[in-house]
Structure 1
Amino acid sequence: MTSVSRTFTVSAAPATVLDYLADFTNAEEWDPGTQKCTRNDAGPVVVGASWHNVSKIMGTTTELEYTLKTRTDEQIVLVGRNKSATSIDSITVRAADGGSEITYHVDLEMHGAAKLATPAMKLVFEKLANDTEKQMTEVLNRLPA
């Protein structure tokens, strides 16, 4: 399994950040790998909501079905799956210095023959985590404080 984590602060309020990130459609704005993310269902963004995500990482396009598994006052957990991988994205948001402290943690488990790529994926995901932190910070700092 590959795990990456980043902790950083933004100026937006925690409730604003959580509402924005819980709607995974917004990944198109804050996730540098996401090319398209569309909601599979309708209505409020609650536990059980799902999205179809198309990402391009290191020149390879992959599609995962994501489901919102947890949504609390401090955390959201999204789980994405396809036949080759399972991605668990945990985002914890706490009040800090008039804004929010965000811890973004991803566990990626490869399946089947794709498991052979696990060591290389660690390097790829470390770079992607750096890029995501930068882009997410920029986007979240544009939200209302």
Structure 2
Amino acid sequence: MIVVERMVALPAPLDEAVSYLQDFRRTEEWDPGTVCCVRIDEGPVRPGAVWRNTSHFRGRTTELMYVLEVREPTHLVFIGTNKSVTATDDMRFEARSGDGTLLRYQASFRFKGLARLATPFMRTELEALADKVAQRLPSALAEHRH
């Protein structure tokens, strides 16, 4: 398994930051690997909500079904699965003084089947992707607020 973690200062109050990130279709705005993300079910965003995420990584396009597993005032967990990987996005939020929020974003990837053989070679690319997410997320949230 590969785990990458970033601390990201977000330019919004805690409730706005959580509200923005709880809708996983917004990964199109802040995750450079996401090509398309569509909500599959309807109704309010709550645990059990499902999205189909299409991503481009290492020259390949892949699809994962993501489920919101945890929706708490300061904690979100999404779990995405397909036949070759289980990806977990664990987001913990902390209000900062002023109008900001600190996000601890931990993404873990558990590869399955033959894909497990590539695990040792994926860390560098996943760390680079995490850096891009950390750079892009604050500006995506700021744009959304305006």
Range into which the TM-score falls when normalised by the shorter chain = over 0.9
Give structure 1 stretches of 5+ with no counterpart: none
User: What does residue 131 of structure 1 align with?
Assistant: 132
The letter for the 2-side match of 1:38 is V
Q: Percent identity?
A: 39
- Do the aligned residues in 1 keep the contact of 2:10 with 2:17 (CA within 8 Å)? no
User: What does residue 56 of structure 2 align with?
Assistant: 56
| Structure 1 residue 83 corresponds to structure 2 residue 75 | no
The DSSP-based 3-state class of the residue aligned with 1:142 is helix
- Do the aligned residues in 2 keep the contact of 1:16 with 1:143 (CA within 8 Å)? no
CA-based RMSD of the aligned residues comes to: 1.2
User: What does residue 8 of structure 2 align with?
Assistant: 8
Take 1:10 and 1:107, find their aligned partners in 2: how far apart are those partners?
21
How far apart are residue 141 of structure 1 and its match? 2.7
The letter for the 1-side match of 2:102 is E
| Residue pairs, 1:1-145, within 5 angstroms | 1-98=1-98, 99-144=100-145
Take 2:41 and 2:125, find their aligned partners in 1: how far apart are those partners?
31
Take 1:18 and 1:102, find their aligned partners in 2: how far apart are those partners?
9
Q: Which shows bigger deviation, 93-102 or 71-80?
A: 93-102
TM-score of the superposition, structure 2-length normalised?
0.96
Deviation digits for residues 57-112 of structure 1 (CA, Å, limit 9, x no counterpart)? 12111100000000101010000000000000001111013210011101100000
The letter for the 2-side match of 1:75 is H
How far apart are residue 143 of structure 1 and its match? 4.4
Give structure 2 stretches of 5+ with no counterpart: none
